Structure 1
Amino acid sequence: MSVSTSRAVTSAARGAVSSLGEFYALTLDTARAVAKRPFQWREFVDQSWFIARVSLLPTILMSVPFTVLVVFTLNSLLIEIGASDLSGAGAGLGAVTQIGPLVTVLVVAGAAATAIAADLGSRTIREEVDAMEVLGIDPVHRLVLPRVLACTLVAALLNGAVCTIGLVGGFFFSVYLQDVTPGAYAAGVTLLVGLPELLLSEVKAALFGLLAALVACYRGLSVRGGPKSVGEAVNETVVFSFVALFLANLVLTSVGLAVSGR
């Protein structure tokens, strides 16, 4: 390896470590800002409505094909082995433990996080954040905290909506297209899925929203340059959010399986 290449690798490694440290510092500042008063309720409500508005339609459009794919595959297998009465159990397990968190990951990282990064990035290049600091206003308390909490709340609500769409859509698809008995489908929903699985799914979705919002806020506030840098920050937000959320999903799923003993 040449000297120039070695220096480039070292510089990149230092930059990555520095960015990671700044991200953790922002996370700690956000945690400390929770105790500060007054809480920015207006900003929290506005951001919750904004994130829900940009995320609801993609959530619905993505949850329907995911539901059809999972239910069709499971029902085809169950019909082949003569166990079509268990279609409700398969739909419940797929919707609550897999479809809900997966769709939440994609929507939160692809729609909500990018919107937050673009908003804060635009404020940063217009020097609004610097002006707030000059006036003695904490940008983390004023801008970051409401967005992080709003994204966390909306992600949990979106997960509940996806689970509902999955169960209801699975019912109509199974009963009216694959001739599954309605009573058997309803009776099998709770066979493999109960309150612990639903709570784990909601915790995963809330954590996804928290991580995605933190990544988006960090990239938005760390923008340097003009409008081009905002676009780059938005693209990086999608990539970093996907990586962080899928790793979190892997860890939480493993923990949930270990706790449930499956």
Structure 2
Amino acid sequence: MSTRTSRKTSPLAPVAAKATGAMREFGNIFAMALDVIVQMFKRPFQAKEFIQQFWFIASVSIMPAALVAIPFGAVITLQLGSLTAQIGADSFNGAASVLAVIQQASPIVTTLVVAGAGGSAICADLGSRTIREEIDAMMVLGVSPIQRLVVPRVLAAMGVAALLNGMVSVVGVCGGYFFNVVVQGGTPGAFLSSFSALAQLSDLWVGTLKAVIFGFLAGLVASYRGLNPKGGPKGVGDVVNQSVVITFLLLFLVNLVISVVYLQLVPAKGA
């Protein structure tokens, strides 16, 4: 008479499996990031593909970014204006709102739009190529999908993010100025003088650096998920959603790290 030994599954086993899978995905994305950086310096450079992707991402992102920048700048200015009025520091409203837009809101808004509009399209395009076995055919022919397809898209996302960041900064600052002066009755001279007194060039550089890094992450995650779909056409839709969510999570995490490092290393103007 044979006896069967039943093994009890630990209740933490599913959690451990998910944690292991998440760490494996993070490692794969990191390895692909290193590969993309190396392939950027190899020739031939796919200039035509880069220009096409740059124009596509810019065309689908420029209007949403400009429209989203206005309420972002307005909300920041109105909130800071009410707080500074309570403590009697109305003269610093311009500096606080402008620095918040340039350092934090502008690169975040830019990358959210780039990842949502351009990144999802990149992921869907590469995902459809993968399930049609075009990527496997390229590898059989000795063509690197990273150099041929991924690098131009990542560079295009970085370039569009850097340029859109400048536009979003201008639109956000102008929107904040309008709402502060017209809605809250602020003084135009106080708004501009406080900004010029406390802002510094490094604030603009850190915002641009954030946009470039965030654009790299948006293009990288979209390309990685697009090259690894599961389950046919339905899997392509799933990886598109996953790429946007993962990009948003990485965006806020990296933004926190960069902001902490910048505020610790770069002294404030007048400090």
Q: Give the TM-score taking structure 1 as reference length.
A: 0.92
Unaligned runs of 5+ in 2: 1-6
Name the SS for the 1:3 alignment partner.
coil
In the aligned structure 2, how far is the partner of 1:10 from the partner of 1:17?
A: 10
Do structure 1's residue 154 and structure 2's residue 153 form an aligned pair? no
User: 2:190 maps to what in 1?
Assistant: 184
Give the drift of 1:4. Answer: 6.6
Matched residue type, 1:98 = Q
Q: Give the TM-score taking structure 2 as reference length.
A: 0.89
Within a 5 Å distance, the mapping from 1:86-97 to structure 2 comes to 86-97=92-103
User: 2:245 maps to what in 1?
Assistant: 239
Name the SS for the 2:186 alignment partner.
coil
CA distances 1:153-182 after superposition (whole Å, capped 9, x unpaired): 111112111111111112222222222222
Matched residue type, 1:101 = P
Give the drift of 1:69. Answer: 0.8
Q: Pick closer, same or farther for the CA change 1:182–1:231 going to 2, 3 Å.
A: same
Rg bigger for which structure?
A: 2
- Retained in 2: the 8 A contact 1:96–1:193? no
Unaligned runs of 5+ in 1: none
Q: 1:221 aligns with which of 211, 223, 227?
A: 227
Deviates more, 1:120-129 or 1:75-84: 75-84
User: 1:251 maps to what in 2?
Assistant: 257
- Retained in 2: the 8 A contact 1:113–1:213? yes
User: 1:43 maps to what in 2?
Assistant: 49
User: 1:33 maps to what in 2?
Assistant: 39
Give the drift of 1:243. Answer: 1.2
Deviates more, 1:135-144 or 1:19-28: 19-28
User: 1:125 maps to what in 2?
Assistant: 131
- Retained in 2: the 8 A contact 1:105–1:246? no
In the aligned structure 1, how far is the partner of 2:75 from the partner of 2:243?
A: 29
Do structure 1's residue 135 and structure 2's residue 141 form an aligned pair? yes
Q: Which has the higher helix share?
A: 1
Equivalenced residue count is: 262
Give the drift of 1:18. Answer: 3.2
Give the drift of 1:16. Answer: 3.0
Within a 5 Å distance, the mapping from 1:199-210 to structure 2 comes to 199-210=205-216
Deviates more, 1:235-244 or 1:11-20: 11-20
* Alignment root-mean-square deviation, CA: 2.0
In the aligned structure 2, how far is the partner of 1:188 from the partner of 1:8?
A: 54
CA distances 1:217-236 after superposition (whole Å, capped 9, x unpaired): 11000113311000100111
- Retained in 2: the 8 A contact 1:120–1:221? yes
- Retained in 2: the 8 A contact 1:91–1:166? no
Q: Pick closer, same or farther for the CA change 1:19–1:78 going to 2, 3 Å.
A: closer
- Retained in 1: the 8 A contact 2:161–2:215? yes
Matched residue type, 1:240 = I
User: 1:99 maps to what in 2?
Assistant: 105
Deviates more, 1:12-21 or 1:138-147: 12-21
CA distances 1:72-102 after superposition (whole Å, capped 9, x unpaired): 1122233344443333212211211221122
| Identity over aligned pairs, percent | 49
User: 2:4 maps to what in 1?
Assistant: none
User: 2:58 maps to what in 1?
Assistant: 52
In the aligned structure 1, how far is the partner of 2:88 from the partner of 2:23?
A: 55
Deviates more, 1:227-236 or 1:28-37: 28-37
Matched residue type, 1:163 = S
- Retained in 1: the 8 A contact 2:108–2:251? no
